[in-house]
């Protein structure tokens, strides 16, 4: 079923929820070359779309380099890289596949067919992959040792070490220059190392390359880990489905399913496509989509989303979604589009190098050449000054100023149980002024617990628990598990139950010690069973967001059990500390409004309830327009909103998709670490500003003194080395921050 948009394009729907097309415009800047924003749209009628998987991208800046390389090819009208899924999309009026593949290979990346299985997001540590970095570390240590014994020989050793480290970096820089990226970070590193060698700063040249290679390796690992979460969404759907053809059952691939097909899903199995329930009655765990902590009861004719799990029975459904357009597929597209909409996260040094590196090189050249040419001044003194300026321009302190602070901040956060995925996420975290919380599993424990017991006269609480748990024995329903768990905790021994049967739409019935008992929702019982006082009590409990079940024997009420997902012990303290930092909170949940209102009232927060993933994305968009927003969640259904927010934060107990999609995670599941993490991020951001001021301030000071002839090469070396030491020492202060 589709609904036309104002431009005539259909909007995919599931049930009553519409997934509106997102405005995915984003500035496409690639190493100083910018083009107009390009939306993530289908190709025009006169253009063809080609797609590939791209391997070797370590960061969003790499994605911009790939885009820029493909954009140079004649006939290409539009280029997009979706970094989250490593896809390159090229629109062209002619077949440009061969030219694109050649251009991307020349840029140092690998393309594979997008219709083949996606490449593995990450691989385990291997010595072969890290051999260049390990070799450079060994050579650096050997060079330092030789320099302590024989300085002249040590200089030669450092030169050899620099040349070994420079080879792969310079080769990549040349590739990028040929593909239209003349001032990438590889160019910056190559010029810095060669310049340092030219004026004799051999040890410093080698260290710059070593730090750069370490940073590249760590950044690639973090990017691969993040992409694993997006890929894991596909695992929510089984690879095959059981399709019914009359009395015959056949196993088919998901791509063969079409609307109108009848499929069968076993108990505990996931739905491969959106479907309409043909069985009379069934319970489904839809937490992957809605975050609802309890299974949802569905009747014949109700729609059920792909990715939902049949809780306790074999079910038959009619397929209602096209291949590639199920609820899970739409969540995946939301994540991709949210990733594309976000401004590209480029490293500070790469952006700065587009101006700083060519400017300082040109300035040093002019200082060395113009005075002798224009005034007849001696050449050697001005060449000496030019070389000194080139050393002052060496970005060693700048290279380490930001990563030193970031590394210290990330390490301090890790000690406190917070995993922050990279410097960009740390910087964004410090800008947060609002926090949106998912409810189930984030603010609450994520599973129901017995919170109240009412018994009829002549029956005690333990007896009621014993009988109710006996009736529920063998059930996998979360309410049943909560009742049985309560009995275990109290040491209650359960009797054997027989003749258990589920009464569709009513409850569960069983024979215990010769008597037949029914455990049911109160509103499913005949009106005469419950007296007015009991009904009022039940209504009050349900108004507080609790789920109530009643135990009945021979149409006689024996008692009720109230269950609810309870708050995490540290939730109140975390919210109060966030408010102390000037950060406002709101709850965005797929749970019912009564349950959400109960939790929100305890915490003093606003809430929005009954939200599907697309609804959460819409609310996050609106909130983000007012102030930077963090989205905190633990489920697959939270992943699109996490990507759409300024920063996504996952609970450590959350799903793999939430953990890998998020920019940060509370690994110890302590909500109180959230305000501490934000405070640390703010301190780190201030530290970065201080480090940049130190690095640039010292360079500016010695630039002036060099032109005036006050300082020479040895003081220039001291200035650069001193700045590196100062910014490192300043960054280390973050490790001792409480």
Residues classed as catalytic: 438
Residue whose token pair is 């012990």: 569
Q: Which helix (H) or strand (E) holds 175?
A: helix 151-178
- Whether residue 503 contacts residue 525, with contact meaning beta carbons closer than 8 Å, is answered with no
CB 519 within 8 A of CB 558: no
Query: Measured between alpha carbons, how far is residue 644 from residues 24, 478, 659 in Å?
Result: 11, 31, 15
Helix (H, G, I), strand (E, B) or coil at 662: coil
User: Is the dihedral angle over the CA atoms 294, 297, 303, 309 positive or is it negative?
Assistant: positive
Q: Cα(326)–Cα(336) distance, rounded to whole angstroms?
A: 15
CA distance 255 to 244: 16
Alpha-carbon span 264 to 689, nearest angstrom: 60
Contact between 12 and 19 under an 8 Å Cβ cutoff? The reply is yes
Structure tokens at 307: 């990715």
Q: In 544-612, which residue ranges form alpha helices assigned H by DSSP?
A: 571-580, 593-603
Which residues are CB-neighbours of 192 under 8 A, at least 6 positions away? 205, 208, 357, 394, 395, 396, 399
* 413 Cβ neighbours under 8 A, 6+ residues apart: 419, 420, 426, 677, 680, 681
C-alpha to C-alpha distance for 627 and 415, rounded to whole angstroms: 29
CB atoms inside a 10 Å sphere around CB 411:
12
Sheet holding 87-92, edge to edge: 76-82, 87-92, 48-55, 110-113
């Amino acid at each position: 079923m589709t609904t036309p948009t104002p431009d005539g394009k259909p909007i995919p729907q599931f049930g009553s929820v519409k997934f509106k097309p997102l405005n995915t415009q984003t500035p496409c800047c690639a190493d100083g070359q910018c083009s107009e924003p390009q939306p993530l749209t289908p190709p025009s009628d006169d253009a063809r779309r080609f797609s590939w998987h791209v391997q070797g991208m370590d960061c969003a800046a790499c994605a911009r380099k790939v885009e820029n390389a493909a954009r140079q090819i004649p006939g290409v009208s539009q280029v997009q890289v979706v970094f989250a899924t490593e896809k390159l999309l090229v629109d062209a009026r002619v077949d440009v596949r061969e030219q694109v593949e050649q251009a991307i290979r020349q840029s140092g990346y690998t393309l594979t067919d997008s219709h083949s299985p996606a490449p593995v997001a990450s691989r385990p540590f291997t010595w072969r992959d890290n051999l260049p970095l390990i070799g450079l570390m060994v050579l650096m240590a050997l060079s330092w040792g030789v320099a302590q014994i024989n300085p002249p020989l040590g200089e030669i050793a450092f030169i050899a070490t620099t040349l070994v480290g420079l080879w792969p970096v310079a080769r990549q820089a040349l590739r990028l220059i040929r593909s239209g990226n003349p001032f990438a970070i590889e160019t910056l590193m190559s010029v810095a190392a060669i310049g340092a060698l030219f004026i004799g700063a051999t040890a410093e040249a080698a260290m710059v390359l070593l730090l750069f290679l370490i940073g590249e390796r760590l950044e690639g690992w973090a990017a691969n880990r993040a992409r694993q979460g997006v890929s894991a969404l596909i695992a929510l759907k089984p690879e095959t489905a059981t399709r019914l053809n009359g009395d015959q059952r056949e196993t088919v691939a998901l791509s063969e399913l079409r609307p109108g097909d009848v499929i069968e899903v076993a108990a505990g199995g996931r739905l491969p496509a959106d479907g309409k329930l043909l069985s009379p009655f069934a319970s489904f765990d839809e937490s992957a989509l809605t975050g609802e902590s309890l299974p949802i009861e569905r009747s014949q004719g109700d729609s059920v989303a792909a990715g939902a799990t049949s809780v306790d029975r074999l079910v038959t459904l009619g397929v209602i979604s096209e291949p590639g357009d199920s609820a899970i597929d739409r969540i995946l597209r939301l994540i991709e589009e949210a990733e594309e909409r976000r401004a590209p996260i480029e490293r500070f040094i790469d952006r700065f190098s587009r101006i700083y590196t060519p400017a300082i090189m040109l300035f040093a050249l002019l200082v060395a050449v113009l005075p002798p040419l224009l005034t007849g001044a001696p050449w050697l003194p001005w060449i000496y000054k030019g070389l000194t300026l080139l050393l002052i321009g060496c970005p060693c302190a700048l290279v380490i100023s930001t990563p030193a602070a970031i590394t210290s901040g990330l390490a301090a956060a890790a000690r406190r149980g917070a995993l922050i995925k990279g410097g960009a996420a740390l910087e964004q975290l410090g800008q947060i002024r609002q926090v949106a919380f998912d409810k189930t599993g984030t603010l609450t424990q994520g599973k129901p617990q017995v919170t109240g017991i009412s018994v009829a006269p002549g029956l005690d609480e333990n007896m009621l628990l014993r009988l109710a748990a006996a009736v529920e024995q063998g059930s996998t329903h979360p309410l049943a598990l909560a009742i049985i768990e309560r009995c275990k905790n109290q040491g209650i021994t359960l009797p054997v139950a027989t003749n258990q049967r589920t009464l569709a739409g009513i409850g569960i019935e069983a024979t215990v010690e010769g008597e037949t008992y029914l455990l049911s929702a109160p509103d499913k019982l005949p009106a005469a069973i419950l007296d007015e006082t009991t009904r009022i009590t039940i209504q009050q409990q349900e108004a507080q967001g609790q789920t109530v079940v009643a135990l009945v024997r021979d149409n006689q009420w024996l008692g009720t059990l109230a269950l609810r997902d309870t708050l995490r012990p540290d939730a109140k303290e975390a919210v109060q500390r966030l408010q102390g930092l000037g950060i406002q909170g709101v709850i965005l949940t797929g749970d019912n409004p009564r349950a959400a209102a109960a939790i929100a009232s305890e915490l003093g927060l606003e809430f929005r309830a009954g939200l599907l993933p697309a609804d959460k994305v819409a609310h996050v968009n609106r909130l983000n327009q007012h102030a930077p927003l963090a989205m905190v969640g633990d489920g697959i259904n939270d992943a699109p909103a996490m990507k759409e927010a300024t920063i996504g934060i996952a609970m450590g107990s959350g799903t793999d998709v939430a953990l890998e999609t998020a920019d940060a995670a509370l690994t110890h599941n302590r909500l109180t670490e959230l305000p501490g993490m934000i405070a640390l991020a703010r301190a780190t951001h201030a530290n970065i500003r201080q480090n940049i001021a130190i690095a640039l301030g010292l360079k500016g000071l010695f630039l002036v003194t060099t032109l005036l002839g006050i300082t020479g090469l040895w003081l220039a070396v001291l200035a650069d080395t001193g700045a590196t030491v100062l910014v490192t020492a300043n960054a280390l202060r973050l490790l001792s921050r409480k």
